[in-house]
């Protein structure tokens, strides 16, 4: 894997244009003052009485503190991103990080401070925890290339989005004002996910050779909480099922984002086999590396089939299948048996892959 990174001028132009559009229309930014009055109307005691079986008041406090403290460490994460953007001469990433992402993220911990105070936590104690968390060192392990940073961003922002959504669901029936606060943060994380997805897609389109480092970034992904809040992050594996996390949907969403970053089934297939190769996985009795070598000798037409299998394995086959009723009359005689054969092979590959995402965090 190379540490060099150079995109064609046209790609840098498109990435800068994307950041221009984001800066011009960043969406509904959070004003922390909007939450001040809501704090007085929240009944967090009612939330404790309606918690799902297996979750205690202490668990609720831990869940909310994890949200507060990971969101308060924005400057730590922003510094790590900016260092890498400057190292690889990616001014578009610096601009997005410094002008959009960091100022936006800096507002996300405020609602959780209000909610925790409504639950009985003292402001002085929360402020102390915030200071201690901001002072914690953070090691970014997902790779340094801008394409790896944006890939990390896709996964991290999506899983954080999911985390805030689960919190909102916990709070909704008994404390709708608190649920609204969490939902406001969730909506911002949704936008961040989509922006990072588009940045990654533009880089991969410009340089398909980035598939290898992007695959490495995905495999090495860890949520920042593992570094700065290990005592809270270690409890998330137990909390997620109790909060109602839908692991199948999480897997499906992440695969959809992968496909959208790759733009087509052939590139997605190359990506899947690269993931499998780096992870030592097999397709049945055959190593992923052997499959790669065979497909490369054939010019790679089978990669598309692997990409289709990836989507089919999680019920996203509608993303590549043609619309019902669309037919080329000159090919109609052969289309049905040909598609039947493709379907059989696709299903076999899908079964062999047994693709799953194990969530132990809000991260993998």
Nearest 10 degrees: CA dihedral of 165, 169, 170, 173? 150
pLDDT at 236: 95
Residue 160 — φ and ψ, nearest 5°? -70, -40
Q: What is the mean pLDDT of the chain?
A: 88
pLDDT at 362: 36
Q: Sign of the C-alpha dihedral, residues 224, 27, 245, 315?
A: negative
pLDDT in tens, 30-66: 998 888 877 777 888 899 999 999 999 999 999 999 9
% of the chain at pLDDT higher than 70: 87
Contacts of 287 (CB under 8 A, 6+ apart): 277, 280
pLDDT in tens, 96-151: 999 999 999 999 999 999 999 999 999 999 999 999 999 999 988 889 999 999 99
Q: What span, in angstroms and rounded, lies between the C-alpha atoms of 218 and 152?
A: 7
pLDDT at 25: 97
* Choice between 294 and 325, residue whose per-residue pLDDT is larger: 294
Q: What span, in angstroms and rounded, lies between the C-alpha atoms of 79 and 102?
A: 9
Mean pLDDT over 261-266 rounds to 91
pLDDT at 355: 54
* Choice between 155 and 343, residue whose per-residue pLDDT is larger: 155
pLDDT at 14: 98
CB 15 within 8 A of CB 92: yes
pLDDT in tens, 14-39: 999 999 999 999 999 999 888 887 77
- CB hemisphere CA count around 316 (13 angstroms): 24
CB 81 within 8 A of CB 93: yes
Q: What span, in angstroms and rounded, lies between the C-alpha atoms of 41 and 36?
A: 10
Q: How many CB atoms lie within 10 A of CB 95?
A: 18
pLDDT classification of 296: cutoffs 50, 70, 90: confident
Q: What span, in angstroms and rounded, lies between the C-alpha atoms of 23 and 191?
A: 13
Give the length of the chain: 364
Report all structural domains of the chain as residue ranges with CATH numbers, in order of start: 9-220 (1.10.620.20), 261-353 (no CATH)
pLDDT in tens, 154-208: 999 999 999 999 999 999 999 999 999 999 999 999 999 999 999 999 999 999 9
Output the pTM of the full model: 0.90
Q: How many CB atoms lie within 10 A of CB 10?
A: 9
Q: What span, in angstroms and rounded, lies between the C-alpha atoms of 124 and 334?
A: 73
Burial of 344 (0-12, 13-18, 19+ CB in 10 A): exposed
Tell how strand 286-287 and strand 282-283 pair up.
antiparallel
Q: What angle do CA 311, 219, 1 make, to 5 degrees?
A: 110
Lowest-confidence segment of 38-52, 82-96, 150-164, 329-343 by average pLDDT: 329-343
Q: Which of 259, 254, 336 is nearest to 303 (CA)?
A: 259
3-state SS string for the chain: CCCCCCCCHHHHHHHHHHHHHHHHCCCCCCCHHHHHHHHHHCCHHHHHHCCCCCCCHHHHHHHHHHHHHHHHCHHHHHHHHHHHHHHCCCHHHHHHHHHHHHHHHCCCCHHHHHHHHHCCCCHHHHHHHHHHHHCCCCCCCCCCCHHHHHHHHHHHHHHHHHHHHHHHHHHHCCCHHHHHHHHHHHHHHHHHHHHHHHHHHHHHHHCHHHHHHHHHHHHCCCCCHHHHCHHHHCCHHHHHHHHCCCHHHHHHHHHHHHHHHHCCHHHHHHHHHHHHHHCCCEECCEEHHHHHHHHHHCCCCHHHHHHHHHHHHCCCHHHCCCCCCCCCCCCHHHHHHHHHHHHHHHHHHHHHHCCCCCCCCCCC
């Amino acid at each position: 894997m190379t540490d060099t990174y150079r995109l064609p001028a046209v790609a840098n132009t498109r990435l800068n244009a994307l950041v221009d559009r984001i800066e011009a229309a960043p969406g509904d930014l959070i004003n922390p003052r909007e939450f001040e009055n809501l704090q007085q109307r929240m009944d967090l005691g009612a939330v404790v009485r309606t918690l799902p079986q297996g979750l205690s008041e202490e668990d609720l406090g831990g869940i909310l503190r994890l949200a507060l403290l990971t969101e308060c460490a924005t400057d730590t994460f922003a510094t790590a991103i900016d260092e890498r953007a400057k190292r690889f001469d990616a001014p578009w990433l610096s601009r997005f990080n410094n002008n959009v992402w960091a100022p936006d993220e800096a507002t996300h911990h405020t609602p959780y401070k209000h909610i925790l105070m409504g639950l009985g936590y003292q402001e002085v104690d929360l402020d102390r925890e915030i200071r201690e968390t901001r002072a914690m060192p953070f090691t970014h392990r997902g790779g340094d290339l801008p394409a790896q940073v944006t890939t990390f961003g896709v996964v991290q922002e999506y899983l954080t989005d999911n985390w805030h959504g689960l919190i909102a669901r916990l709070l909704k029936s008994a404390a709708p004002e608190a649920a609204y606060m969490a939902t406001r943060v969730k909506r911002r994380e949704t936008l961040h996910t989509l922006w990072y997805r588009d940045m990654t897609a533009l880089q991969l389109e410009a340089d398909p050779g980035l598939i290898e480092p992007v695959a490495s970034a995905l495999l090495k992904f860890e949520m920042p909480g593992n570094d700065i809040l290990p005592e809270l992050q270690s409890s998330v594996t137990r909390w997620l099922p109790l909060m109602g996390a839908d692991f199948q949907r999480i897997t499906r969403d992440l695969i959809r984002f992968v496909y959208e970053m790759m733009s087509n089934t052939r590139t997605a297939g190359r990506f899947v086999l690269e993931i499998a190769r780096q992870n030592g996985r097999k397709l049945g009795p055959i190593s992923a590396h052997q499959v790669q070598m065979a497909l490369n000798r054939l010019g790679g037409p089978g990669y598309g089939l692997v990409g289709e299998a990836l989507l089919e394995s999680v019920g996203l086959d509608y993303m590549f299948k043609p619309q019902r009723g669309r037919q080329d009359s000159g090919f109609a005689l052969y289309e049905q048996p040909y598609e039947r054969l493709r379907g059989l092979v696709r299903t076999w590959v899908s079964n062999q892959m047994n693709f799953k995402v194990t969530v132990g965090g809000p991260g993998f």
